[in-house]
Amino acid sequence: MKSAKNILQPENRPLKTAVLVLDDSNTLSFAAAIDPMRAANRLAGRPVFDWDYVNASGDIPMLTSGLTVPSFPLARLTDCDLLIVVAGFQLARHATPSLLAGLRRIAATGAMIAGVDGGPWLMAEAGLLDNHPATTHWEDLENFSARFPQVDCRTDRFTVSQSRMTSGGATPAVEMMLHIITARHGAGFADRVAGLFLYDGPGTPARPQSRLATSGRHKHNALTAKANALMEAALDEPLPLANIAETLGTSARSLQQQFRLRLNTTPQDHYLQLRLAEARRLVTDTDLPLMEIAQATGFTSQSSFARAFRTAHGNSARDLRQAQNNVVTGAQILSFASAQRQH
């Protein structure tokens, strides 16, 4: 195994990059990895990044939007400085022995391996994240941590560890790419790249992911962000406001004022919205019984859960799940019909 290449240092030569794209990758996550490189090349007026697209097995990958990515097989990739693994859904299907061996082969050349969205799962399956801090999208963090106990699982937006990088989704992937650009070409140049996307968020890796985004003038400060993190960690057994305030070394009244000032809401309503957002995700993305979803999001009775869910989402949890199932069934029928026509 060759020694790891340090790509996070000042360097003027183009960074030789390969982007491994898997079927069912989110289009926004794909663009988040690619467009900062394109923008850096445009601003520099020369190749700052030199990248190729690769696929897992020779089949052209299709993103969730239906876009396809012309690429060549990973087996034909012999060398690169940075391999970015972009994945979204169907990770168990993608984690073939051939793909995992290919990832280990490229890692053995000393290349930096970076995962976006579902990419960290494949890196972990290949054993490339053992004893490294790593993250993935917040929806999957609990399962990720249970599946890979040898990985130091973090809630960070993105992580950097020797020759490994992982990010938790599209916006953190932009931040991860800006981190690389900063290390190689300076903060001023990276700020100009960020400016092309009107991105002005802090690129701090350890800043935790959040289930609810804030935009415009409604943004967390240090106190509300810490309160939000405590809430997200206790969705199944909601903490009393007084306990949150005491943990943060402040008063309930001060916490109320800060949430009203920064987010234009109360801590109680913010907490409820976090729980209901998670409930909606569990209804649409899992097969858990509704009573278990109610308990997992801090509701002590099915009736109180049903009322709160309908108020928040304009539909009952049962109806929403049925509508979701109908959409999936319809898509499967269309896919089968299309396949029949091709034959």
The yes-or-no verdict on residue 307 having pLDDT over 60 is yes
List the beta bridge partners of residue 116: 86, 167
- Least trusted range by pLDDT, from 2-6, 55-59, 173-177, 316-320: 2-6
pLDDT of residue 339: 40
Query: Which range has the top average pLDDT, 37-41, 42-46, 134-138, 169-173?
Result: 37-41
Q: How far apart are CA 297 and CA 312, in angstroms?
A: 14
Average confidence score pLDDT of the chain: 87
What mean pLDDT comes out for the span 147-175? 92
282 vs 289: CA distance, rounded Å = 9
Backbone angles phi and psi of 75, in degrees to 5: -60, -25
Of the ranges 117-131, 155-169, 252-266, the best mean pLDDT one:
117-131
The whole-number pLDDT of residue 90 equals 84
Chain segment 329-338, per-residue pLDDT in tens: 444 444 444 4
Please give the average per-residue pLDDT across 127-134, as a whole number. 95
Cα(193)–Cα(171) distance, integer angstroms? 14
Task: Note if the pTM is more than 0.85.
Answer: no
Q: Work out the average pLDDT over 254-264.
A: 89
Give the mean model confidence (pLDDT) for residues 296-312. 92
Mean pLDDT score, 287-304: 93
Residue 121: its pLDDT value, please?
94
**210/121: higher pLDDT:** 121
What is the mean predicted confidence (pLDDT) over 60-80?
Answer: 95
pLDDT of residue 87: 93
Spatial CA neighbour of 88 closest among 143, 133, 140: 140
The average pLDDT across 171-199 equals 89
Q: Comparing 97 with 221, which gets the higher pLDDT?
A: 97
pLDDT for position 29:
94
> Which runs of consecutive H residues, i.e. helices, occur in the chain?
27-44, 91-94, 97-108, 119-125, 141-147, 170-185, 187-196, 222-232, 241-247, 252-263, 267-285, 290-296, 302-313, 317-342
pLDDT score for 247:
95
pLDDT at 80: 96
**Which pLDDT value is given to residue 214?**
54
